[in-house]
Amino acid sequence: MKKLLVLLGLCAIAITLSAYLPSGRHLLTKVELGERLFFDSLLSRNNTVSCATCHKPEFAFADTLALTPGVYGRKAKRNTPSAMNLALQATYFWDGRAKTLEQQALMPIENPDEMDTPVDTVVARLNESAFYREAFMAVFNERATKESLAKALAAYQRTLETNQSVFDEWRMWGDDEIVNAAVKRGFVIFNTKGKCVQCHFGADFNNPDFRNIGLFDGKSLNDSGRGAITKKINDIGRFKIGPLRNIAITAPYMHNGMFKTLKEVINFYNDPSSVVPGSINRDSLLLKPLGLSEQERSDLEEMLRSLTDKRFVKGGH
């Protein structure tokens, strides 16, 4: 229900922010301006990379590569997370370094491995564009600024919410026939033996915590994650717990994209030591193998697949 109220609220905001461009060319909203910017490579140094280059709409605004190339083919340091279902999040990026969507929106622009452009340069480009000059004046009553650029991008991202999966129809709307027995069994595993619910719960199946699931060994797996932000030893190897909505179409998985399939992810959680022996500071929840049978792992995967929004399902509506 909380998810539904957020979606309804975003629709109302979009309506109230409507404004005609002075030229009368078309109706414009802050969200529409943000969408235009999200897909515009003008934000990158060499005009080749947009936000959508890494956050592909057909893959729930994630990517299909472990590490996505930015300008000049430079690879990002971490896997591209989905840009959907962010309205309820407390922090952003794998290490949680951004506290708001507005902060998050500008960081990839200046990141040398992504767009590699000073934000001031982007703002100057926007104000040199006849379209964007008119658009920012119509929506914000001023020429483009760093703040208004961030607000427009964040406004669009806040609309990328989903709650129309078969799982939602089963659990939220009471349609007991919409999912098969495997999904129902998988949900039991999710909440009990699999321990998934201890980290993944709420409207988007995540929580504000950072956890070390065993993907840091100080050697081949040397990304310290949250520890690099807080400088705390206990945070080394901890990463943001991401939403599970649409997880079936956002492969590859984890902060480094090391797992290609959901099956690999579940097998890892079932026995982390067999995949990454010698991990450092692994969370107490995963110190012992879960002992999931092959059938239980298959059922859990079916449950996770049921979280895919209908817009991404063939024949969905």
Structure tokens at 4: 């539904």
CB contact burial 7-36 (16+ within 10 A = b; e otherwise): beebeeebeebebeeeeeeeebbbbbbbbb
For the chain, the distance separating the N- and C-terminal CA atoms, rounded to the nearest angstrom, is 20
114 a catalytic residue: yes
**Cβ neighbours for 120, distance < 8 A, ≥ 6 positions apart:** 146
Catalytic residue among 32, 102, 114, 169: 114
Count of residues making up the chain: 317
Secondary structure in 3-state letters for 166-233:
HHHHHHCCCCCCCCCHHHHHHHHHHHCCCCHHHCCECCCCECCCEECCCCCCCCCCCCCECHHHHCCH
Per DSSP, which regions of the chain are E strands?
19-20, 27-28, 210-211, 239-240
User: Is the distance from CB of 115 to CB of 49 less than 8 angstroms?
Assistant: yes
CA–CA gap between residue 85 and residue 278 (Å, rounded): 34
CA–CA gap between residue 18 and residue 31 (Å, rounded): 9
**Strand 19-20 relative to strand 27-28, pairing:** antiparallel
Q: How many H-runs (helices) and E-runs (strands) does the chain carry?
A: 13, 4
Q: Is the peptide bond before 243 cis (omega within 30 degrees of 0)?
A: no
User: Is the distance from CB of 31 to CB of 76 less than 8 angstroms?
Assistant: no
Catalytic residues: 114
